[in-house]
Amino acid sequence: MNDTPGPLLQSLPPDLIRRFAAIVGPEHALTDPDQQLPYLREWRDTYFGQSALVLRPASTAEVSAILTLAHAEGIAVVPQAGNTGLVGGQIAMRGEVVVSVARMTKVRTVDAVGGTMTVEAGLTLAECQQTADRAGKLFPLTLPSEGSCRIGGNLGTNAGGVGVLAYGNTRQQVLGLEVVLADGRVWDGLRALKKDNTGYDLRDLFIGSEGTLGIITAAVLRLLPKPAEKATAMVAIRSIEDALALFNMAQQAADRGLTAFEFMPRLVLDFVLRHIAGTREPFAATYAWYVLIEISGAQADGTANRQLESILTDATDRGLVIDAVMAQSIAQARDLWRLREGISEAQKPEGGNIKHDVSVPIASIPVFISRANAIVERICPGARPLPLGHFGDGNVHYNIAQPTGMDKAAFTKLTPQIMREVHDLVMSYGGSISAEHGIGQTRRAELARVKSDVELDLMRRIKSALDPKGILNPGKML
Ligand SMILES: Cc1cc2nc3c(=O)[nH]c(=O)nc-3n(C[C@H](O)[C@H](O)[C@H](O)COP(=O)(O)OP(=O)(O)OC[C@H]3O[C@@H](n4cnc5c(N)ncnc54)[C@H](O)[C@@H]3O)c2cc1C
């Protein structure tokens, strides 16, 4: 996409910079390009932004003061948390003020008995998980980026990840929110209630709004019972059609105990083995497709292992599984998971990569992949499709690596055409062009193309009701 900074379209007079800096303290108001760099560049180098000022508030009161001033002066701001978003939503492209919540890391309360914790938006996802774990509970959101992404960003994107199958996406983990509105007012919706039918659901409106409706500063999150045991296996299968049959068998046998069912083709495994240190080939032979299966049990009595063994035996008898390796220790389970978690990182060294984050009804996954592959081969012969993802959610990360040896820029130029045709195919199955990463800037034009006029009109009205001056993350999503 862009690899050089564009013109600074919003510059701030020195006096205004001083007034913003007075809110957070001068050391947390960054104008120096070197200091700003970590907030303007995303990890894949897909977007390289421009900002007149990066602000690092430490409290809700400071965020409120920033937005009060920004609103009064008509200054555009871009909310940012961990800067791991994959659609450029967190990157300021036109000089907007970046408001990073990374310093807001307080755990306000943990209520293990009531099953909730209230945390600030800058806590990393890994820290949220650890906080829950220390209380003897589970916070089930799990992403490969969990060491860097922050809960404010997870809420902003309604992140998914590998646990959605059993536990739901971010939205399902939230009871209440605290949000600073575009004009600086604070909505205190930090309610720890499972049931609350008092009018429109504002909480769900802010979740997944990608920083376009308000800045989330804290959340009440649900804590779940911690599984007492887990059984993990990597299995080899002949075809993606067999993944569907295997998934149905596993779900029938383990029901809600089935906590992961991740699929990937051989080429993805090749990339991981080639580029991610410490990974090992799981089998003596190579196969067309692989599935990582995890079953969790409430009691430490070996039930999860027995269930998984029984599923694999049945599936092997039916010819669905052609090879399988079951983790015999936590370390072996971690090694298997590393093969899945290293996928994002392993694609970068292979050159240009066109990414789709789509969902279709799960029974349509096999035919979708085969038709999408045909589209890609027609437009760019030799391109290498890498369809992988969260099978049980119908979520296919339909990524495409450039043909070996092709010029990266020439491949990347094909993005709009490939994206358009793949998305048209997705829509023909009643699918979604963004299952979990969001719209940001990457899919903004596509959103306008695939949503109905009625839906777009409603979304625009909501945006202008909550952010009448359009200062929150302009140019993103809508
Ligand atoms: C290796 C890797 C693997 C990943 N795997 C997954 C995956 O499996 N599933 C998945 O869903 N995502 C995945 N992601 C994408 C990313 O980690 C998620 O989208 C994550 O939720 C973003 O969190 P963040 O803190 O980095 O947010 P940022 O990138 O900082 O921001 C993301 C969006 O949220 C908005 N935002 C940030 N903070 C706030 C706030 N306080 N209030 C309101 N809006 C805010 C931003 O404006 C932006 O639009 C992956 C990313 C990487 C790098």
Q: Mind listing the pLDDT tens digit for each residue in 463-472? A: 999 999 999 9
pLDDT at res. 102 = 98
Distance CA 66, CA 55 (A): 9
What number is the average pLDDT over the span 343-348?
93
Q: Is the CB of 142 under 6 A from ligand 1?
A: no
CA 125 to ligand 1: nearest atom: 25
> Is residue 431 lining ligand 1, measured as CB closer than 6 Å?
no
Ligand 1 centroid vs 81 CA: distance in angstroms? Answer: 8
Q: How far is CA 276 from CA 160, 280, 337, 427, 472, in A?
A: 23, 9, 12, 34, 38
> How confident is residue 10, by pLDDT bands cut at 50, 70 and 90?
low
Q: What is the pLDDT of the chain when averaged over all its residues?
A: 96
SS3 43: coil
Tell me if 146 CB under 6 Å of ligand 1. Answer: no
Nearest protein Cα to ligand 1, atom 52: 145
Q: Is the CB of 46 under 6 A from ligand 1?
A: no
Ligand 1 pocket mutation pick from 84, 340, 390 by most atoms within 8 angstroms of CB: 84
Angle at 128 between CA 127 and CA 130, to 5 degrees: 60
User: Distances from the Cα of 266 to the Cαs of 108, 287, 320, 329, in angstroms?
Assistant: 45, 6, 17, 25
Judge if the beta carbon of residue 157 lies within 6 A of ligand 1.
Answer: yes
Mean pLDDT lowest among 1-10, 79-88, 119-128, 185-194: 1-10
Cβ–ligand 1 distance for 342 under 6 Å, the answer no
**Residues 167, 363, 387, 449: is their CA dihedral positive or negative?**
negative
User: pTM of the full predicted structure?
Assistant: 0.95
**Residue range 9-33: mean pLDDT, rounded:** 93
Is 161 a pocket residue for ligand 1 (Cβ < 6 Å)? yes
Site to probe by mutation for ligand 1, drawn from 47, 142, 145, 343 as the one with most ligand atoms within 8 Å of Cβ, is 145
Smallest Cα–Cα separation from 354: which of 376, 378, 381, 382? 376
pLDDT for position 303: 95
Pocket mutation for ligand 1, best pick of 43, 46, 77, 86 (most atoms within 8 Å of C-beta): 86
Query: CB neighbours of 234 closer than 8 A, spacing ≥ 6?
Result: 282, 283, 290, 291, 292, 293, 324, 325, 336, 339
What is the Cα–Cα distance from 465 to 478, expressed in whole angstroms?
Answer: 14
- DSSP, residue by residue, 240-269: HHHHHHHHHHHHHHHGGGEEEEEEEEHHHH
pLDDT-based confidence at 45, cuts 50/70/90?
confident
CA distances in angstroms from 162 to 138, 213, 340, listed in the order given:
15, 27, 10
Sign (positive or negative) of CA dihedral 428, 434, 440, 441: negative
